Amino acid sequence: MESSWSKTFKEGDRVEWIGPEDPTDPDIPTRGARGTVVSIDPPDEWVVAWDPPWATGVYSEKYLREVKA
């Protein structure tokens, strides 16, 4: 049986936040924030260590896009 886990990102990939902004939620980065994928939290969520000022958090893949170095 095929896994339903996403294969879009892997650990170490650089990503950018393209999801919605919510100024009332300090755990949601602003659009364009960049970070590094730390690990996967299946099925489609990624632990991302954001560049300051956001802490590491778990985010849905649908709100991230890869940044090519």
pTM, two decimal places: 0.76
Q: Is the CB of residue 42 less than 8 Å from the CB of residue 53?
A: no
45-50/34-41 β-pairing: antiparallel
**Other CB atoms closer than 10 Å to residue 69's CB: what's the count?**
5
Query: In this structure, is residue 4 part of a structural domain?
Result: no
Position 25 scores a pLDDT of: 82
Encode pLDDT of 5-58 as tens digits.
456 788 899 999 998 888 888 778 889 999 999 887 666 788 888 887 667 788
**Other CB atoms closer than 10 Å to residue 38's CB: what's the count?**
16
Query: In this structure, is residue 32 part of a structural domain?
Result: yes
Query: In this structure, is residue 45 part of a structural domain?
Result: yes
Query: In this structure, is residue 1 part of a structural domain?
Result: no
CA distance 69 to 9: 14
CA distance 53 to 6: 27
Query: In this structure, is residue 44 part of a structural domain?
Result: yes
